[in-house]
């Protein structure tokens, strides 16, 4: 495993739409392990592949309950509203209030290429939606409620 360089705000890769992952192979397994190591080293709760320069639909999340790997995720449903401060490893030191759904239902493949669905609320929902945005070139500052 190795630490990956986290791309910072201003890097054009953060604004690009990601491509679907077509298969699980040794390179993808290594990428997932590297992303986990990088996220934990940076004290983050999530990291998306474009944040390490890879334009693939992949992100990881760990809000303290163990890591979750999302490959080719889909958002199936959202509900409610919550406003809270968000930060991002690609915008170190910056936080802004962001309104997001309080509930999300998502479907994805895990690191074993198994399909799963997850229902999440509050912080986990926020983390999933934040990382999902990265796959479409959207940053939390695009959604801030601060005027």
Please give the Cα distance from 55 to 41 (Å, whole number).
22
Binding-site annotation: residue ranges for Fe cation = 88, 130, 134
Residue in 74, 86, 119, 131 annotated catalytic:
131
**Ramachandran class of 13: left when φ > 0, alpha when ψ lies in -120 to 50, beta otherwise:** alpha
74 in Cβ contact with 57 (< 8 Å) = no
131 an active-site residue?
yes
| Torsion of Cα atoms, 85 then 138 then 122 then 64, to 10° | -90
Q: Which of 90, 72, 71 is nearest to 29 (CA)?
A: 71
Catalytic (active-site) positions: 131
């Amino acid at each position: 495993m190795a630490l990956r360089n986290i791309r910072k705000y201003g890097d054009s890769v953060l604004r690009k739409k990601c491509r679907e992952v077509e298969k699980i192979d040794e390179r993808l397994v290594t990428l997932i392990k590297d992303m986990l190591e990088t996220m934990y080293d940076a004290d983050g709760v999530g990291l998306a592949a474009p944040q390490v320069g890879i334009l693939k639909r992949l992100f990881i999340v760990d809000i303290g309950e163990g890591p979750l790997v999302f490959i080719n995720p889909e958002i199936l449903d959202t509900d409610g509203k919550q406003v809270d401060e968000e930060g991002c490893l690609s915008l170190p030191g910056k936080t802004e209030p962001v309104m997001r759904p309080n509930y999300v239902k998502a479907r994805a493949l895990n690191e074993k290429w198994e399909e799963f669905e997850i229902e999440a609320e509050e912080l986990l929902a926020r983390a999933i939606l934040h990382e999902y945005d990265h796959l479409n070139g959207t940053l939390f500052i695009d959604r801030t409620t601060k005027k």
